[in-house]
Amino acid sequence: MVITSRDNPNVKRIAKLTRRSEAKSEGVIYLEGTRLCEEALASGQKAMEVIVTEDKVSWAKEFTPDIEPLVLSKDVFAKISQTVNPQGVAIIIKEPGISADIPSRGDNKDIYVVLENTQDPGNLGTIIRMADAFGLTAVIVSPTTCDPYNDKVIRATMGSVWHIPVVRKAMDECFEYFGKNNIDTLAMHLKGSELGSGDLRLPCAYFIGNEGDGLTDETSQRCTKLVKIPMKGQAESLNAAVAASVIGYELSKLI
Amino acid sequence: MVITSRDNPNVKRIAKLTRRSEAKSEGVIYLEGTRLCEEALASGQKAMEVIVTEDKVSWAKEFTPDIEPLVLSKDVFAKISQTVNPQGVAIIIKEPGISADIPSRGDNKDIYVVLENTQDPGNLGTIIRMADAFGLTAVIVSPTTCDPYNDKVIRATMGSVWHIPVVRKAMDECFEYFGKNNIDTLAMHLKGSELGSGDLRLPCAYFIGNEGDGLTDETSQRCTKLVKIPMKGQAESLNAAVAASVIGYELSKLI
């Protein structure tokens, strides 16, 4: 049966979940569009609900065969859609365990990138994608860092948000874990010493600060060492995702 | 004298130049806001015109003492402004020579990053910033790459767009120049061989393709070698700015 009314209780419920703040408070993620939905499903995320337009019922049969989709008229789908040109495909999935423990590979070659107060969704997404590409163990985000399941972040990860653990931890808990497990801690800091090959050893956690302000003094002081990426030009600093990627790449050579 | 009418001919002329397409066709750039204007002026760009609100005449006296500013009422400034909360400061500068020749350091240590059809302004800006930071000789953009003086690009460069030459060249002209000057050409390509230290020598030009499609076959085939950045995780590719930065960093070690 095709739902043609915006006032249908199921439609109302889904419409609410298209707002990230509502979905977050229920521990779910609303994903819309074929690329985003297929990436998540291909990576093993399970759809809790599937919402399609009439002409996309075949999509639902192919990608989510075990779930009865909610079929909406194009008009109703367009009303709840978060995109300008709706593709008529959306799913709701459970949020992966963002508050889980810090994971480990178990071979003393862990690499963690720790983000303290990263604000730009594009940067966060790019860092998650890079961390997946270079085989890092996890991306750890401070409670003040932007929501990893923000739509812009998910898009920028190109699917990597489903491949690599993203863990939210207070800095205190991070340092406790890293100390207990003899994990080197590197603060990326413009006042640090220029990174040399001797600075890098595994296991390692490296800390990247806020785009404008860098790391807090408190976090910098708790790290083993303050380092900066050698720069030979006039620019005073690098984009946060670029800095994270250069170090991630250098550390990945040691795996 | 403070201009209080939107119909003033000077205001009309400036309003036209706030549209990038109009400014581009006149070979100028409209910059608004203290950070953007001050960065450009500090890097030696000369203001051709200065537009301020009454309360920002002192800014004009400090930063552009040789030019009589156009003083607008806050109301009129807000009408032409491209920002939500106008700071009451704008300048017009001449576009740096984007169609100039490919520059050289003259010591056989040139590094060029060549962008073929980069579309995301954030990526282009981040690459220009990285190229400045790592001491590259120039950023070369294909005619199909997005406008380097687009407001979003300029913001993402954090001033670097004024520090490093950005040159627009057809791929044919690039290969002609690189061939004539014995400059190594590396195509960043997902089908390339994994980058090893032996692959990098100076002078070098490395080519980065479009975010979705990568480099064209034609360009890839004309390069000395196809390489890819080693990736140990599940991600199939890296963000274009991240890929450009990792190679830029590796090459900068050879300067």
Cross-chain CB nearest to A239 (options B126, B235, B237): B126
Residue from B162, A21, B132, A1 nearest A11 by CA: A1
Helix (H) or strand (E) holding B115: strand B111-115
Q: Is the residue at B158 inside a domain?
A: yes
Check which CATH number belongs to the domain holding A39 and give it: 3.30.1330.30
Pairing between β-strand B166-168 and β-strand B138-141 as defined by DSSP bridges: parallel
Quick check: B241 and A126 CB within 8 A? Answer: yes
The reply to whether B191 falls in a domain is yes
Domain match, B18 and B54 both: yes
Same domain, A90 and A142: no
Chain B residues within 8 angstroms (CB to CB) of chain A: 122, 126, 129-136, 156, 158-160, 163-164, 229-239, 241-242, 245-246, 249, 252, 255
One domain, residues A76 and A139: no
**pLDDT tens, B154-185?**
999 999 999 999 999 999 999 999 999 999 99
Query: Which parts of A118-157 fold into alpha helices (H)?
Result: 121-133, 151-157
CA angle A54, A13, A57 (to 5 degrees): 15
Domain boundary among A41, A66, A94: A94
pLDDT above 90: percentage of residues in chain B: 94
In a shared domain, residues B123 and B226: yes
pLDDT at B99: 81
Predicted confidence (pLDDT) per residue in B170-227, tens digit? 999 999 999 999 999 999 999 999 998 789 999 999 999 999 999 999 999 999 999 9
Question: pTM score, two decimals?
Answer: 0.94
Examine the pLDDT at A230 and tell me if it is beyond 90: yes
Please identify, among A65, A94, A123, the residue that sits at the C-terminal boundary of a domain: A94
Interface test with A, best of B153, B157, B194, B249 (most A CBs within 10 A): B249
CATH of the domain at A174: 3.40.1280.10
State the pLDDT at residue B196. Answer: 85
Q: What is the pLDDT of residue A83?
A: 87
Q: Is residue A100 part of a domain?
A: no
Give me the mean pLDDT over the B44-70 stretch: 97
Which residues of A touch chain B, with CB atoms under 8 Å apart? Answer: 122, 126, 129-136, 156, 158-160, 163-164, 229-239, 241-242, 245-246, 249, 252, 255
Q: Give the pLDDT confidence score for residue B198 in this predicted structure.
A: 86
Pairing of strands A138-141, B89-94: unpaired
Closest among A42, A30, A41, A61 to A71, alpha carbons compared: A61
Residues B84 and B128 in one domain: no
Task: Give residue-wise pLDDT tens across range A157-216.
Answer: 999 999 999 999 999 999 999 999 999 999 999 999 999 878 999 999 999 999 999 999
Average pLDDT over residues B140-163: 96
Cross-chain CB nearest to B239 (options A129, A230, A231): A129
Nearest Cα to Cα of residue A245 among B239, B149, B118: B239
Number of domains chain B contains:
2
Token pair 């207070």: residue: A170
- Please answer whether residues A121 and A154 qualify as being in contact, where contact means their C-beta atoms are separated by less than 8 angstroms: no
Q: Tell me: ipTM over 0.90.
A: yes
Contact B151, B20 (CB under 8 A): yes
Beta-carbon pairs below 8 A across chains A and B = 110
Question: Could you tell me if residue B34 is inside a domain?
Answer: yes
Beta-strand relationship, B89-94 and B111-115: unpaired
Do A215 and A182 fall into the same domain? Answer: yes
Determine the pLDDT at residue A62: 97
Residue A137 lies in a domain: yes
Tell me the helices (H) and strands (E) count for chain A, helix number first: 10, 10
Is A71 in a helix, a strand, or coil? strand
- Range of A59's domain? 9-94
Residue A101 located in a structural domain: no
Which of A94, A128, A152 is the last residue before a domain boundary?
A94
Return the higher-pLDDT residue of A95 and A82. A95
- Assess contact for B37 and B31: CB atoms under 8 A: yes
**Contact status, residue B71 vs residue B1, Cβ threshold 8 Å:** yes
CA A187 to chain CA centroid, nearest Å: 21
pLDDT band at B31 (very low <50, low <70, confident <90, very high): very high
Q: With contact defined as beta carbons under 8 Å apart, do A154 and A161 qualify? A: yes
For residues A235 and A175, state if they share a domain. Answer: yes
A177 and A121 within one domain: yes
